[in-house]
Each structure stands twice: as C-alpha cells, then as structure tokens.
Chain A
Amino acid sequence: MRPILILCVLLLFQSCSWLGSKGVILQRPLQKPYKVAVIIVQDEVFESSESISESDFFTKILAEELSKKNIFRYTILNRKYSLQSFDHFQASLLGIELMDQYDAYLVCIPKRKGLNYRIELRLYQSNPTAQLISVRHNSSLGNSYWFYQPPEGTLMDATRGAVDLLDSKIKKALR
C-alpha cells in the first residue's frame, strides 16, 4: 500500500504551483523603481521558432501583464540580446549604459521547453548596477495542465506567473 501512496502524492505534487515559481529578493529594503527599461533576452530556440514570432507575442503578453499590474513605468527597448552572450558582465554594462535614462532595468528571459515555457525576470538597479530581484515561473510545474495546452497558452500562463511573482516580491521588498 505504501508505494502506491507515495506515488499518488508525488503525482499530486507534480502540478502544484509552488513548485513552478521561484523568487529571490537580493536587496532589501528596495527603493521603488520609477522608470524601468525592459530588455528581452532570447535563446536560439525561441528566436528561430515559427508563427507570429514567439518573441513578438511574448512582448505583447509581457506588456499587457506589466500594465495590468501597474508595478512601474516602463519602456520596452527595441534591442535583441542573445542568451548565449548575455552574462553578468553584459548585464552590468547595460546598467552603465542605461543609468542616465532609467533607474532600473528588467531583463526578461523566455525559454521554451517542448510545449512549455520558463520565464525568468531579473530586476536590476542601474546606478550603481546591482541585481535587486530575480523571479521565474515554469508552466510545466507551475500550472495544472491535465489536458493538452497550445504553446501560446503556456506562454501566457508562464508570463503571467512570472509577472505576478515579480509584483509580489517588489511589494514585499518595499515593506
């Protein structure tokens, strides 16, 4: 009876939202960012996929979710960064480059894994450059899919999960 019980509990946990979302506040107390630059960093799979361009679709969903939450004023920068060349050094350089116009910048990293997505959001302060918050949401573990979901659906859920978590982490860090 015991192995059946353990198996059932594991199956149940497989779809629990708290397994799919992770967030860390790296600096506290946080100063509320007022003007944020949003930068989208893509991996090759994400860039090369078909349809309306997942990257553009992601831009649309991200803008809708950020506006709905009204966390901060933001501008989506029209730049493409490749995940392969984007490291901590590159992130710091961005801070120096953006510090005159923006007091923070949000690096968004969407990754596709099969039909699911993992969206990572990193909030940096630009002057001096420092990472403030990091959150990520994985639709395969963070959402309960009992039936097939199209990739547009999982991308929407993953983005919404990540933005929700970012919002709650910012509120927590401001307290």
Chain B
Amino acid sequence: MIRLLLLFSVLTIWGISNAQSERNDCYDLATKALKSLPNLYETGQLDSLHAVLNNWERSCGKREITRRLRTLLLLEADDFIEIDFDFTHYNSLLGYLEDEKFKLLMDSVHEDPRELYLNFFQEPDLLFAYTNFTTRLAASIAQNKGIDLMIPSCKTSIMLLQVYAGYFDPFFQSIKNAQCNSQLSRYYSSQVQSIEKKAKVDAAIITGLWLPYGNVAVLGNHPSLGFLFGWGKRKMVYDFVIEFRFGKPRETYEVFHNGSVVSTNHYLGGYAGFDLGYELKNRKNSKWYLLAGVATDGFDSIKADPDQDVKTKSTFVLNLNGGIGWRTYSRDGSYFGIEARHNFINYKNTGGTNLDGNAVSLRLLFGLLKNDKRERELSHLKNIIP
C-alpha cells in the first residue's frame, strides 16, 4: 500500500512538473515568437515565419495572436476563403477588439495604464509592439490592394482588414448592417439573436377586483391579492398565478354540508393556475397582450370550527379565462400592468343556492420581467461593438 502511495505521489509530482514545464516552454516560445515574427516578415523570410508560427501553434495551441497573423498573410496573398472563417475565429476577433478597446480606454482615463496592463497581459510591451506590427501590416495590405478602409464594406476580408488596421467605426457599421450577408455579419446577428432569445424571469404582485355576474353574483364583488411567477420569451409570457379573494359575500347563500342545507355568509376565494400572454403590439416601452389562462378556481363557504366539529366546505371548478392586458416597462425591467379577463366558472353547488354564472376579473400588476445574465451579455457585446 505504501509503495502504491509512493508511486502515485511520484507520478503526480512528475505530472505537475511536466505541465509546469510545458507552460514555461510555451511562455518562452511565445516570447521568442513575438520578438522574431515582425523581423522575419520585414526581412521577407516567410518560410521561417511560417515555421515559427507552426511551431508556436503546435506547442501552445491556436490563439488569437497567431490567427491574426495567419489571416493577414492569407489576405495579402489573396488566399483568404470566407467559408474558412469559423465561429472560433469570430470569437477571437471579438477578444482582440475587446483588448484594443480596453487599451484605448485605459490610455485615456488611467493615470498609469502601463502598471495596469502588467496585471492583464504577460509581456505587454512585446504584445503591443506585435499589435503595432499587425496594424501596420493590415494598413499596408489595404493600401497595396487599393482598399479604402474608411468605407464600410460587406466583404469579410475588408472588414477584417478594418479591424486589424484599427478602423473600427466602418467595421461596426458593416457588422451591424442587416443587409450585409457576410460571414462576420451572420455570426454577429446570430450571437445577438441567441442572447436576445434567452428567457426572462417574470414575477409580479397582483391586486384587483373580482366581479361575478349571473346567479353567482350572490357571492358579491371581491378585492383580490396574489402573485405570479414565470418567464417571458420573445413574444410570450408564461406565468403560474396564485390569487386570493377576500371580503364578505353580497348576501347570505346556502350550501349543502354534512347532510343538511346550511346558510352561510363566509367567503374566501382562490385562483391557482397557469396564464399565458401573447404580445400583440409593442409600442416604445408599453406592450399589449392577448391573455388566456387555465386554473383551479374555488372558494371556502364554511369556515372550519374544531370546537363544533365543523369542517371547511370548499368548492372548486375549472376556470378557463381569456382577456387583454397592457404593461408598461421601465428600463430596469420593472413594470406596471393592467389586465381584464373573462372567467368561465359555473360553480357547482348541488343542494344549495344556484351559483351558475361567470365573472370578470380586473388586475393591476407590479412586477419585474428581466434576466440579468441576458442584459449583461448584451451590454458586454455592446461594449465591444457599440
């Protein structure tokens, strides 16, 4: 057992030291490559340049920094094929943009940005010198090919040159242009869509009025209080709702309880179910919804009294309802809403007062429809591509 433990320890230490030495090798290799690549390009030693790049990628994996130079070399040789530009490449391009924008921002607002960069990047000076080299290279490729980088373009190759040469504004215009059918624009719009379609959490406090009509009007109008909890996705909202109705009935009514007909003036109503809303119209911050719901609806007509050995008498029916609603949203996702619904109930009160009839319910909602993760991801993307 001790031998086994010793063997395991030796293997673990060997594994850790191997991983450590791989990291060190990678760091040394990257440092050397960052120093040598600009020189190799400027002296026209393209074979050696490719060998260094290959070696770097083999040891450390593909990174934004190597992809950038490879892309520029392909663009220079007119060998760039749009279809080869995959989503990983798109993500690394966003990473590059984020770093560049971070550097631009910090250069303008930080008292000593250099010290900050030391905490963000390994060897920032080497990295910035390399970026200067790729920026110059992108600008010279555009110049040699007679491309005006100030003009927005729908071609991925030109958009890439714009980013790498630091012409961000025309690039932002192009990538956000829905008319552009370039690979880059497609990746961007699919990323925005995938964030936007994330569900939002819907939660609200509900208060309102319950207005029965027909024979059931004998139960009277009642104020209601409850809450809803659910989610919203695209044009739909889905909510679980619990609502209580309070107050005395309009007049005394009869129910059949424990084998006899009993007169009562007790009432405590409830609604528990699932509501759906479909967004009909969206105008600025307010939205109109078509509503539908299915729930268990009921009321207590006799209150339990353990001393008298009286048990609660409750009546439940299926409530199918539909109506229309309006919500106005503030920027932080909180909202105020109004709903009007027609509820099909027809309580069965066998042996008691006829409680046939339906009800109209009016609701006021104070709630929140938001997903902080979604907002954060959108805001982060907007920081990179404003």
Q: Which residues of A does B touch, CB under 8 Å?
A: 1, 5, 8-9, 12, 15-18, 38, 52-53, 56, 59-60, 63-64, 66-68, 74-78, 143-147, 149, 153, 156-157, 160, 164
Contacts and interface: CB of A to CB of B under 8 A. Distances in A.
B109 A146 contact: no
A35 to B, nearest CB: 12
Interface in B102-148: 102, 105-106, 109-112, 115-116, 119-120
Contacts of B370: 144
Nearest to A37: B111
Given A1-B268, A144-B370, 10 more contacts: A15-B203, A16-B334, A52-B119, A52-B120, A64-B105, A74-B109, A75-B110, A76-B109, A76-B110, A76-B111
Interface in B192-227: 201, 203-205, 225-227
B197 to A, nearest CB: 17
8 contacts: A5-B225, A12-B229, A16-B368, A64-B383, A77-B111, A143-B372, A153-B373, A156-B376
B244 interface: yes
B315 to A, nearest CB: 16
B227 A8 contact: yes
A65 to B, nearest CB: 9
Interface residues of B, number: 35
A68 B383 contact: yes
Contacts of A153: 372-373, 376
**Most A Cβ at <10 Å: residue of B373, B379, B380:** B373
A63 B105 contact: yes
Contacts of B270: 1
B242 interface: yes
**Most A Cβ at <10 Å: residue of B102, B203, B225, B242:** B203
Contacts, number: 82
B365 to A, nearest CB: 12
Contacts of A5: 225-226, 244
B78 interface: no
Contacts of B368: 15-17, 144
Contact of A53 (B105, B112, B119, B376): B119
B332 interface: yes
Interface in B300-343: 332-334
B379 A160 contact: yes
A140 to B, nearest CB: 12
Nearest to A21: B332
A3 B166 CA distance: 62
Given A64-B105, A144-B203, A153-B373, A1 B244 contact: yes
B379 A67 contact: no
B317 to A, nearest CB: 19
Given A9-B205, A68-B383, A149-B372, A63 B109 contact: yes
Contacts of A157: 372, 376
Nearest to B370: A144
Contact of A146 (B112, B201, B332, B333): B201
A171 to B, nearest CB: 13
